Amino acid sequence: MDGADRLALRVVDSLAKVPAAAWDACAGPHPFVSYAFLQALEESGSAVAKTGWMPQHLLLEDGAGQLIGAAPLYVKSHSNGEYVFDHGWADAYERAGGRYYPKLQVAVPFTPVPGPRLLVRPDAGAEAKRLLIAGLIEVAKRSKVSSLHVTFPVAADCDALVEAGFLRRIGRQFHWENCGYRSFDDFLAALSSRKRKQIRRERRDANAAVSIELLSGDALKTHHWDAFFRFYTSTSDRKWGSPYLTRAFFDLLGQRMADKVLLVMAKHDGRYVASALNLIGPDTLYGRNWGCIGDWPFLHFEACYYRAIEFAIDHGLKRVEAGAQGPHKIQRGYLPQPTYSAHWIRDAGFRRAVEDFLRREAVAVEHEMAELEEGLSPFRRDPDGP
């Protein structure tokens, strides 16, 4: 591009220092790297230095100071809220006398959703992504951190990072793909008879106990967020001790991204008892957080999986990504898909050890995905069968 020799990189410690429109022109339509979502994390106190996520966003600007590329970058003092687990690496490095933290992380905090991580404006030119990667490495070197991690990048971003010397790590999630289904029953018709019956029974039992509302846009009110946050914190307390996201974050989400939110609310005897939060992308529904109070058989499956599939079919979305973990999702139509992360390791000896581990881990993950799909897939083997 013209003036490429005048391109400049700089780091800012708050997204508030970047114009929203300029950031979004680089980020594109993916909701989780949007200015509104990332800024809500900072403004609400969820992703800030105090919580171990110190913003250090990398910006690439042209000679006129116009933003043409960016990466959501954080200094991390721990490995929580990432969903690509490197606690074992940290323990091994520190037992050997190294200092693993702080480290650098290119990520959407608390969000295991694949998406762009090297954000470049469409007209920025091929060099922009390469310069962003070079800038990330330079920041890591100058900061003298042990490592730099890019979690849940799209495959193209991961390929570019590996070409620049990062190590690739393969993980897996479970996604539902819309094969042109006209209705939920049309989707069920693609399953084996036994799985169809199971899902119908689960849906019947879940809906017999509660009534369910799907809320988005102007329909979202403060009392809905109050209820959702109550369920979210209750579930967080049971699972990992304390919630990552503050109440203020959900207020900001409702104020700034309501049209991208799908909140599934379950009510019993006039009182909300459970809720699932989703974000709506251009072609994908992203399941994020779930919470409930009480014991409601099959309600988790109904609110998080079946209602999401139904919404995607009704709105012509291509897929549903239901978050991290959960082989139980396979039997409900969510099949294993690879996810990626990329890792730059400063110490050469430690890098070799991590590279060897990743090579062996990748083989195990690929075998596991194949075995899970072969053994647990609910879809009919014979498309013409019952």
Give the start-to-end residue ranges of the domains of the chain. Answer: 4-171+338-372, 179-317
What Cα–Cα distance (Å) separates residue 66 from each residue in 120, 227, 383?
12, 42, 53
Third-level CATH fold of 179-317: Aminopeptidase (3.40.630)
- Residue 43: C-alpha distances to residues 82, 247, 265 (Å): 19, 12, 26
For the stretch 79-105, pLDDT in tens is: 999 999 999 999 999 999 999 999 999
The residue type found at 140 is A
Q: How far apart are CA 264 and CA 122, in angstroms?
A: 35
Q: How many helices (H) and strands (E) does the chain have?
A: 12, 15
Q: What is the pTM of this model?
A: 0.95
Q: How far apart are CA 181 and CA 333, in angstroms?
A: 13
pLDDT string in tens for the chain (386-residue length): 444 468 999 999 999 999 999 999 999 999 999 999 999 999 999 999 999 999 999 999 999 999 999 999 999 999 999 999 999 999 999 999 999 999 999 999 999 999 999 999 999 988 999 999 999 999 999 999 999 999 999 999 999 999 999 999 999 999 999 999 999 999 999 999 999 999 999 999 999 999 999 999 999 999 999 999 999 998 765 555 578 999 999 999 999 999 999 999 999 999 999 999 999 999 999 999 999 999 999 999 999 999 999 999 999 999 999 887 778 899 999 999 999 999 999 999 999 999 999 999 999 999 999 999 888 999 987 655 55
Q: How far apart are CA 35 and CA 25, in angstroms?
A: 10
Distance CA 318, CA 277 (A): 19
- Which CATH code is given to the segment(s) 4-171+338-372? 3.40.630.30
Containing H/E element for 136?
helix 127-143
